[in-house]
Amino acid sequence: MSGEAAPEISFDDFLKVDIRIGTVVEAEPFPEARKPAIKLRIDFGADIGVKKSSAQITDRYAPEALVGRQVMAVVNFPPRQIGPFMSEVLTLGFPDEEGKIVLAGADGKLPDGARLA
C-alpha cells in the first residue's frame, strides 16, 4: 500500500482505534518467525498492563536497545497468532526510504498508557 491513498473512513471509525504509548520492558529475538522479528513486552500502565507484540524491526533495532524505549501501538485489535507467539498489540512504525521500519514514538517521555489524542 506504499504510496497509495488509504480508503476514506469516518471520524467515528478512527475513534475506535485505540493507540497508546508504552515502554518496552523486554525484547528478545524471534527466530521462529517467518520474517525476522523481535518479541516485545510493552508496559501500557496500570489500566492496560504489559502486552506482547511481534515486530519486524530487526533491520534497524537490536533487542537490547529497545528496552526502556517508548513505542506506540494499537491496543484494541484481537490477539494474533504469529507462529508459536501470541501478539496482543500492533506496534506502529513507518517504512524509511529502504522499506526498513522506524518505530513510531513520542517527542518526549509520556505516561505509559497515554492515548493518542
Q: Is residue 116 part of a domain?
A: no
Write the single-letter amino acid at 10: S
pLDDT tens, position by position, 26-66: 999 999 888 999 999 999 999 999 999 999 999 999 999 99
**96 in Cβ contact with 104 (< 8 Å):** no
Q: What is the pLDDT of residue 4?
A: 80
* Count of the separate structural domains present in the chain: 1
State the CATH number of the domain containing residue 89.
Answer: 2.40.50.140
The model's pTM: 0.92
Q: What is the pLDDT of residue 5?
A: 86
Instruction: For residue 23, name the pLDDT band (cuts at 50, 70, 90).
Output: very high
Q: Is residue 9 part of a domain?
A: no
Q: Is residue 29 part of a domain?
A: yes
Q: What is the pLDDT of residue 6?
A: 85
Over 70: is that where the pLDDT of 1 sits? no
Q: Is residue 81 part of a domain?
A: yes
Q: Is residue 14 part of a domain?
A: no
Q: Is residue 5 part of a domain?
A: no
Task: Name the helix (H) or strand (E) containing 13.
Answer: helix 11-16
By the 10 Å C-beta count (0-12 exposed, 13-18 middle, 19+ buried), 25 is classed as middle
- Cα separation, 71 vs 68, in Å, equals 10
User: What is the Rg, in whole angstroms, of the alpha carbon atoms belonging to the chain?
Assistant: 14
Q: What is the pLDDT of residue 3?
A: 66
Residue 43: which domain range?
19-103
Over 80: is that where the pLDDT of 2 sits? no
Q: List C-alpha distances in Å: 117 to 9, 17, 21, 42.
A: 17, 11, 11, 20
Q: Is residue 7 part of a domain?
A: no
pLDDT tens, position by position, 61-116: 999 999 999 999 999 999 999 989 999 999 999 999 999 999 999 999 999 999 99
Q: Is residue 98 part of a domain?
A: yes
